[in-house]
Amino acid sequence: MEWSLRANLMTWWKGDRERAPHTRGAISVARRVQAPDDEPPIKPPSYRIVAALRSDVGCHRRVNEDCCLYSEPDRADSGAGKGSLAIVADGMGGHAAGEVASRMAVEIVNRLYYASSADASTALERAFHEANRLIHKAAQSNARLDGMGTTCTALALRNGLAVCAHIGDSRLYLARGGAIYLMSEDHSAVMELVRRGVLSRETARGHADRNIILRALGTRPEAEVVTWREPFPVRIGDCFVLCSDGLSDPVTDEEIKRAVLSAEPAAACEQLIALAKERGGYDNITVGALKIVAPE
C-alpha cells in the first residue's frame, strides 16, 4: 500500500490510528474501482435502481435472526431527498433475542436516517450509534434479551453516490466491469488473524472460529462503527450486494458475482439462497442486490 493511501485513511473513516488499519483493505478497493475524476457521478433521472432483498431461515434453524429492508421513498415523501437505503442485519443472543436485535437495528437505522437533515454519512453514523444505545438498553432491562446484539450493514444511494455504514461480519460487495469487490471488512476474530498475517484468507474461510465477531450493535455501551467519510460514485451497470454470513460462508465471491451479473436482482437472490441451502444452509441466509440501470 502506498504511503499516500495510508495518509488518506484518517479522512476516509471514523476512528483513531489504532482503528484505521482495520479498514485498509476496503479503502484500497474503493480507491481502485471508483469512477475517474473526469467522469461526473450520474444523477437521477439518468439512472434507476432495481433492487431485491431475500431472507431465508435456512435448513437447520427454527428462527430467522436475520433482518433486511430496502427503502425508496416516493418523490412526494419527505425522505425522498435522502435517496434509497438498503440494510442487512444478523442478530445473535439465543432464544428470540437475536431476532429482536436485528429487527431493532433495521427499524431504527431506517427511521433515523430518513429523519435526519445531515449528509448521508453523518446520518447513517448517528443512526447506528442510536441503534446501539437502544439495543443495549433493551438487553440490560430484560433478562431474556441479555447479551443480544447484531451485525448491521447499510448502503445509502443518493444522486449517483453511495455511502456505507458497517459493523460486524455481514458484507457489502460491488460487482462492476466483470469483477467483484469486497467493500467492507469483517469485524471478526479470524479476520483479525488474517490482517496480522497469521492466517491466509483461504484458511480463514473454513476456520472453526470464523463466526466469532469482535464488533456488533448492542453488545456494549459504545459501538465502533465504520462509515465511509466520502461518497462513492456509482455507474450504470454497477450491482451492490449486501449479505449475511449465512450466504458469504458457503458461497464464494466468484459465485456471487456470476449470479448478479447473469440474472436480475430478484432471480439472483433466489439463486444464491438456493445455492447456500444446497451446501447445508446451516445458518439463516440473507442477500440483497441493488443494480444501477439506465432509465426506461
| Domains of the chain with CATH codes | 16-30+42-293 (3.60.40.10)
φ, ψ (nearest 5 deg) of residue 58:
85, -165
Contact 233, 34 (CB under 8 A): yes
Tens-binned pLDDT, residue by residue, of the chain (296 aa): 222 222 222 222 233 323 332 333 343 344 445 444 446 668 878 999 999 999 999 999 999 999 999 999 887 576 678 999 999 999 998 767 999 999 999 999 999 999 999 999 999 999 999 999 999 999 999 999 999 999 999 999 999 999 999 999 999 999 999 999 999 999 988 888 888 888 877 777 777 777 788 999 999 999 999 999 899 999 999 999 999 999 999 999 999 999 999 999 999 999 999 999 999 999 999 999 999 999 98
Rounded to whole angstroms, the maximal C-alpha distance in the chain is 56
**Closest Cα partner for 288 from 78, 52, 27, 65?**
52
pLDDT at 209: 75
**CA–CA gap between residue 28 and residue 26 (Å, rounded):** 6
Eight-state DSSP code of residue 137: H
pTM of the model: 0.86
Contact 20, 27 (CB under 8 A): no
**CA–CA gap between residue 170 and residue 58 (Å, rounded):** 16
**CA–CA gap between residue 277 and residue 258 (Å, rounded):** 17
Contact 56, 273 (CB under 8 A): yes
pLDDT at 276: 98
Contact 125, 225 (CB under 8 A): yes
Provide the grid cell at 100. 429482536
